[in-house]
């Protein structure tokens, strides 16, 4: 029976090589890693319980701190925030007196607000560490385990696109956990101060918050991805990251105590963060005073080593 | 020895809200039986219930007269080749099979010997000392088959054993199943490849959406499908003459023309195939229509499968 | 049916072969040896460090408190969970062996490996600390023996507990991390006898019950009420027995829904 179909002849070819790198011109589209980030976030946001457990503490802390900051700023101006009633009135009286003394107290209160913001930073950094570890530990490990990297590199993606995409996912959670709450508190402080005087007097805290939050995010994200690239599955990567931070903290403190040299604290990313925050935000903590340059150098080295590990472990990811 | 291999009564298995199998009652006799169904039909779930990897959420299942779940006594008589591609990659093929044979109760020397025999049966004897990490998909599949038959079980259960095998390996594996059957071993296997099931066995169990669609001999199932008339394809030189006579035969429901001017085909649908086949020679002689060929593809498994799936779509 | 001890032995012997070739096992060995590296750095740099002081401080704070729970978690959770994750547990459950043979066989190997590594780690720690220049009576058996005892007992107890956790709970690694570094850390800071609820306290009581005065230099050692040796051994043995029984009970009944 004739099918009536036209038979097309395929040209016979044979290929000696079994793998060829992709060659051609990529579309001028920027942010090729965008879809990786979007997909990663969609997957991360699917499970609600970890989101609630990990985001709830910083959200609650932000709300509480915002109220405290607002109250301190308001009281410094002799105003009684709504809801404080008689207690607020008494505090206002205590702060009252001559206009000069009020102005002097007010400046002190703004400094106090700044210190509170820094303290808040250091405590939310723990949650941002948990966030980045939870959502970032499996990014490279599980891709390799499930063979998903083969699907990624069947697309016109370079290795850098892939790594940037993964890095952006982790960093986004870091920003949400560390930078954003700090900026919220600063906004409250600015709004609560008359004529935005907080911004005039302590305005540097804004760029310092961005700088510190950004640096902390970069360091932790890099470490998390490096451990993920070394691990064969997500649970090992999680344990590895926690082990790294626990060990480095314990060892750095032990060495600092035994050798009576606080520069050894530079072995711990968390201790470096504390030192850098204190120096950046002008907090005087003589008990923990050690060389800030070493802390910055240590962070830079950690990022460099992490990325060296990541690049080494993913060097043949495109090859089956 | 009882005739019944598997006895399932109102078996159901749920994964949360998802139905694996439901209201499944089937008796599978000894011998070779094919388990068929589209993706998500519940084949793997049913096989896991058979070997005791899962327990039914409801109902009862008995294999060789015993409840399979957590039953080491029954497991000595069973062999299972799972669908998932999971092996201990650091072991060699022989170490892998030997380890499982030792867990079946064989001493090290006997396990080694039997392991090699099993690997020979699946054409992996020459790579027995190679690590499983370096095996291709087909080789890994054959290794899994080897471990399921190495301890000479009474019943071998295989979940999609032909997946990943090249045509030669598929042929060899089917031959292996035939030889197992002729040795008296019962084989229950699931597959999508209908013609390979037909080549191996007449007994099938069809599942769809977790339920039993049909079970038994293919021809018997076909007979039961009385709502689908039988279809015959006739190639003839004078198709119109033939068609005029055919429509008068009892039971004939339709006659369709297809093909081209030089080679017409008639497709006849009838509910009484025996009447048609009895009348056809006389019609051919009277009309001198010049019948070239007479074909029916309706008896096969594919037709049964299509009819049953189409009826439940 | 194959007897439990035979099946466990077969599983243990094969698992030992794969274990010594795994990165995880050597990573655990490295983590246990880390305190000895610190000891060597300190001994080389700090002329006032004393060998016994270094050994007790690092043994107490680094080895026992961080390394031992961490490596036990990494190995313990994987006893059953690794077979489930790799989907190879099917092969073991379809053999004529008691299901608990899987737990016992792999547990024996994991504990054995960690105990050997812990003993070697203590030996390395002692060797590194001995390089310190500071003068004291040296590292006595009252320091070495309790430390080996506590480290080996620690890996055994923690591994068994985490193995049982791995049978019961899906995300055992996370639960284990939370227990080790949050719950135990929190409870140990609480006043009163809340420390009795932690494994660390009992392991330290082993040291207190068998160690000499060299341990008195540890912060908080003198002010803590330690458990008597007999009671400590009984408690740890009971914990191991209960954990094993609970794990075995659950494993016999549990169904694993493995995806393809």
DSSP-assigned states of every residue in A23-86: -S---S-S-TTHHHHHHHHHHHTT-HHHHHHHHHHHHHHHHHHHHHHHHHHHHHTT---TT-HH
Task: Please choose, from the candidates C24, C35, C30, C42, the residue with its C-alpha nearest in 3D space to the C-alpha of residue C63.
Answer: C35
Q: How many residues comprise chain C?
A: 260
Which DSSP state fits B62? E
Structure tokens at B36: 């068929």
Residue A95 has pLDDT above 50, yes or no: no
User: Cβ contacts (< 8 Å) between C66 and chain A: which residues?
Assistant: 246-247, 250
Rounded to 10 deg, the angle between the C51-58 and A234-258 helix axes is 150
Question: Cα distance from A3 to chain B (closest Cα, Å)?
Answer: 8
> Collapsing DSSP states into helix, strand and coil, what is residue B295?
strand
pLDDT digits (tens, 9 = 90+) for B11-37: 999 988 888 898 888 888 888 999 988
Whose CA is closest to A75, among A84, A65, A64, A66? A84
Q: Which of A137, A235, A267 to mutate to test the interface with C (most CBs of C within 10 A)?
A: A235
Q: What is the mean pLDDT of residues B48-59?
A: 93
Name residues 3-32 of chain A within 8 A of B (Cβ): 4
Chains with 3+ CB–CB pairs under 8 A to A are B, C
CB distance C91–B100 less than 8 Å? yes
Distance (Å, rounded) from C-alpha C81 to C-alpha C232?
30
- C68-101 residue pLDDT tens: 999 999 999 999 988 988 899 999 999 999 999 9
Backbone angles phi, psi at A47, to 5 degrees: -90, 120
Higher pLDDT, A31 or A209: A209
Q: Which helix (H) or strand (E) holds B63?
A: strand B58-63
pLDDT at A242 over 80: yes
For residue B179, the model assigns a pLDDT of: 92
> Is residue A259 less than 8 Å (CB to CB) from chain C?
yes
Strand partners, B211: B208
Position A96 pLDDT exceeds 50: no
Whether the CB of A67 is below 8 Å from some CB of chain C: the reply is no
C137 φ/ψ sector (left φ>0, alpha ψ -120 to 50, else beta): alpha
Tokens of C178: 């939370």
How many whole angstroms separate alpha carbon B266 and alpha carbon B236? 8
Contact C23 A243 (CB under 8 A): no
Nearest to A142 by CA among A114, A103, A169, A178: A169
**Which phi and psi (to 5°) does residue A7 adopt?**
-85, 125
Residue B189 phi/psi, 5° resolution?
A: -140, 150
| Closest alpha carbon to B100 in B147, B159, B170 | B147
Secondary structure (DSSP) of C220-242: TTTTS-PPPHHHHHHHHHHHHHH
pLDDT at B269 over 60: yes
Residue among C104, C78, C90 at smallest CA distance from C19: C78
Q: How confident is the model at residue A30 (pLDDT cuts 50, 70, 90)?
A: low
Select from B52, B55, B86 the Cβ nearest to the Cβ of C88: B86
| B190 has a chain C CB within 8 A of its CB | no
Residue of B54, B91, B100 with shortest CB distance to C95: B100
The C-side interface with B (CB below 8 A) comprises 1-2, 7, 10-11, 14, 17-18, 21-22, 86-88, 90-99, 252-253, 255-260
DSSP string, A291-304: -HHHHHHHHHHHHH
Are the C-beta atoms of residues A36 and A165 closer than 8 Å to each other?
yes
* Closest CA of chain C from B53, distance in Å: 7
Contact A255 C41 (CB under 8 A): yes
Spans of all domains in chain C:
4-253
Partner C contacted by B257 (CB < 8 A):
no
- Token pair 């493995």 in the structure block, residue: C258
Q: Where are the domains of chain A?
A: 119-313
Q: CB under 8 Å to C259, separation ≥6 — which residues?
A: B84, C87
| Cα–Cα distance, B78 to C96 (Å, whole number) | 9
Has residue C259 got a pLDDT over 60?
Answer: yes
Residue of A nearest to C177 (CA): A239
> What are A104-149's pLDDT values in tens digits?
566 666 777 777 777 787 778 888 898 999 999 999 999 988 888 8
Summarised one tens digit per residue, pLDDT across range A34-72 is 888 998 888 888 888 888 888 888 888 888 888 888 887
B-chain residues within 8 Å CB-CB of A2?
260, 263
- Provide the β-strand partners of residue B252: B270
Q: Report pTM.
A: 0.79
Query: Nearest-CA neighbor of C35 among C135, C151, C139?
Result: C151
Q: Report the C-alpha gap between B93 and B116 in whole angstroms.
A: 9
Query: For strand B291-295 and strand B78-81, is the pairing parallel, antiparallel, or unpaired?
Result: unpaired
Of C15, C65, C55, nearest to C189 (Cα)? C65
- Pair B224, B249: CB distance under 8 Å: no
List beta partners, residue B60.
Answer: B9
Closest chain C residue to the Cα of B77, Cα to Cα: C96
What SS3 state is found at C191?
coil
Q: Which structural domains are found in chain B, ordered by start?
A: 4-223 (3.40.50.300), 227-312 (3.30.70.260)
**Residues of chain B that touch chain A, judged by Cβ-Cβ distance less than 8 Å:** 258-260, 263, 265
Q: What angle do CA B253, B257, B260 make, to 5 degrees?
A: 170
Check: CB of residue C130 under 8 Å from CB of residue C40. no
Whole-angstrom distance between the N-terminal and C-terminal Cα of chain B?
Answer: 40
Closest residue to C1, CB basis, from B69, B73, B78: B73
Say if CB A105 and CB A76 are below 8 A apart.
yes
In order of A170, A250, A303, the CA distances from A137 in angstroms are: 9, 22, 16
What does the pLDDT read at residue B150?
Answer: 95
A260 in reach of chain C (CB within 8 A): yes
Chain B residues within 8 A of A4 when measuring between CB atoms: 260
Read off the DSSP letter of residue B257.
Answer: E
Provide long-range contacts, Cβ within 8 A and 24+ apart, for A61-68: A61/A120, A61/A123, A61/A124, A61/A127, A61/A181, A62/A120, A62/A124, A62/A181, A62/A184, A62/A185, A65/A116, A65/A120, A65/A181, A65/A185, A66/A184, A66/A185, A66/A188, A68/A116
CB contact under 8 A, A259 and C62: no
Return mean pLDDT, chain C: 89
**How many angstroms separate the CA atoms of A250 and A65, rounded?**
30
Percent of chain A with pLDDT over 90: 26
CB < 8 Å to A1, chain B: 258-260, 263, 265
Mean predicted confidence (pLDDT) in A242-255: 88
Share of chain C above pLDDT 90, in %: 53
Task: Please report the pLDDT score of residue A86 as a whole number.
Answer: 52
Structure tokens given for A268? 């711990």
Q: DSSP 3-state assignment of B135?
A: coil
**By the CB < 8 Å criterion, does A1 face chain B?**
yes
Closest CA to C214 of C134, C99, C153: C134
Chain C: closest CA distance from residue B238 (Å): 55
B90 at C interface, C-beta within 8 A:
yes
Q: What chains are in contact with B, requiring at least 3 Cβ pairs below 8 Å?
A: A, C
């Amino acid at each position: 029976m004739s099918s009536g179909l036209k038979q097309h002849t395929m040209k016979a070819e044979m290929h000696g090589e079994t793998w060829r790198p992709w060659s051609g011109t990529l579309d001028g589209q920027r942010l090729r890693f965008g879809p990786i980030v979007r997909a990663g976030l969609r997957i991360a946001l699917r499970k609600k319980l970890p989101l609630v457990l990990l985001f709830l503490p910083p959200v609650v802390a932000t709300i509480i701190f915002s109220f405290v900051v607002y109250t301190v700023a308001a009281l410094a101006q002799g105003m009684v925030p709504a809801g404080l009633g008689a207690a607020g009135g008494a505090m206002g009286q205590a702060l009252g007196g001559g206009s000069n003394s009020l102005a002097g107290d007010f400046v002190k209160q703004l400094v106090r607000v700044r210190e509170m913001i820094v303290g808040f930073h250091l405590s939310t950094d723990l949650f941002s560490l948990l966030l980045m570890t939870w959502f970032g530990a499996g990014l490279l490990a599980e891709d390799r385990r499930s063979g998903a990297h083969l699907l990624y590199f069947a697309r016109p993606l370079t290795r850098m696109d892939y790594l940037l995409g993964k890095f952006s996912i982790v960093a986004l959670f870091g920003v949400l956990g560390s930078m954003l709450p700090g900026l919220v508190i600063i906004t409250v402080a600015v709004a609560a101060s008359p004529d935005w005087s907080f911004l005039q007097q302590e305005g540097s805290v804004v760029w310092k918050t961005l700088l510190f939050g950004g640096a902390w995010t970069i360091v932790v994200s890099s470490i998390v991805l490096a451990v993920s690239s070394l691990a064969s599955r997500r649970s090992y990567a999680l344990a590895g990251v926690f082990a790294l931070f626990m060990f480095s903290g314990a060892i750095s403190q032990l060495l600092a105590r035994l050798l009576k040299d606080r520069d050894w604290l530079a072995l711990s990313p968390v201790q470096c963060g504390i030192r850098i925050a204190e120096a950046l935000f002008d907090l005087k903590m003589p008990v923990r005073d050690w060389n800030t340059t070493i802390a910055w150098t240590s962070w830079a080295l950690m990022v460099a080593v992490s990325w060296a590990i990541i690049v080494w472990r993913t060097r043949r990811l495109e090859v089956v | 020895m009882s005739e019944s291999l598997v006895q399932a009564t109102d078996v159901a298995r749920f994964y949360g809200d998802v139905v694996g199998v439901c209201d499944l009652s089937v008796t599978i006799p000894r011998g070779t039986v094919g388990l068929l169904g589209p993706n998500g039909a519940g084949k793997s779930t049913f096989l896991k219930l058979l070997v005791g990897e899962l327990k039914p959420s409801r109902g009862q299942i008995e294999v060789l007269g015993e409840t399979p779940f957590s039953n080491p006594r029954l497991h000595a008589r069973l062999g299972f080749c799972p669908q998932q591609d999971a092996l201990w990659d650091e072991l060699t093929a022989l170490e892998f099979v030997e380890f499982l044979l030792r867990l079946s109760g064989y001493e090290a020397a006997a396990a080694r010997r039997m392991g090699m025999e099993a690997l020979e049966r699946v054409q992996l004897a020459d790579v027995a000392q190679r690590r499983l990490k370096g095996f291709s998909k087909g080789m890994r599949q054959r290794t899994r088959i080897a471990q399921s038959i190495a301890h000479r079980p009474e019943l071998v259960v295989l979940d999609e054993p032909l997946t990943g095998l090249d045509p030669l390996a598929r042929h060899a594996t089917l031959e292996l199943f035939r030889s197992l059957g002729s040795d008296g071993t019962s084989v229950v296997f699931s597959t999508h490849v209908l013609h390979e099931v037909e080549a191996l066995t007449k007994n099938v169990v069809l599942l769809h959406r977790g339920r039993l669609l049909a079970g038994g001999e293919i021809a018997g199932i076909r007979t039961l499908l009385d709502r689908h008339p039988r279809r015959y394809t006739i190639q003839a030189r004078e198709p119109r003459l033939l068609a005029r006579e055919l429509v008068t035969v009892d039971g004939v429901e339709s006659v369709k023309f297809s093909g081209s001017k030089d080679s017409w085909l008639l497709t006849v649908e009838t509910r009484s195939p025996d009447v048609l086949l009895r009348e056809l020679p006389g019609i051919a002689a009277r009309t001198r229509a010049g019948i070239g060929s007479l074909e029916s593809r309706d008896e096969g498994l594919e037709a049964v499968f299509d009819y049953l799936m189409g009826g439940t779509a | 049916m194959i007897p439990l001890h035979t099946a466990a032995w077969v599983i243990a012997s094969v698992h030992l072969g794969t274990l010594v070739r795994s990165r995880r096992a050597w990573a655990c060995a490295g983590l246990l040896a880390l305190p000895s590296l610190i000891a060597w750095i300190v001994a080389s740099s700090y002329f006032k460090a004393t060998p016994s002081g270094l050994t007790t401080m690092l043994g107490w704070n680094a080895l026992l408190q961080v390394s031992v729970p961490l490596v036990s978690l990494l190995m313990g959770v994987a006893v059953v969970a690794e077979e489930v994750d790799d989907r190879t547990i099917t092969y073991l459950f379809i053999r004529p062996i008691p299901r608990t043979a899987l737990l016992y066989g792999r547990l024996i190997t994991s504990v054995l490996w960690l105990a050997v590594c812990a003993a070697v780690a203590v030996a390395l720690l002692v060797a590194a600390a001995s390089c310190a220049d500071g003068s004291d009576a040296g590292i006595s058996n009252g320091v070495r023996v309790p430390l080996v005892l506590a480290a080996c007992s620690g890996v055994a107890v923690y591994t068994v507990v985490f193995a049982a956790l791995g049978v019961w709970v899906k995300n055992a690694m996370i639960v284990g991390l939370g227990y080790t570094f949050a719950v135990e850390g929190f409870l140990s800071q609480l006043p009163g006898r809340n420390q009795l609820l932690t494994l660390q306290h009992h392991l330290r009581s082993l040291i207190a019950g068998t160690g000499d005065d060299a341990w008195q230099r540890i912060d908080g050692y003198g002010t803590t009420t330690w458990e008597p040796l007999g009671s400590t051994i009984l408690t740890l043995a009971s914990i191991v027995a209960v954990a094993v029984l609970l794990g075995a009970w659950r494993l016999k009944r549990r169904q694993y829904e493995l995806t393809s």
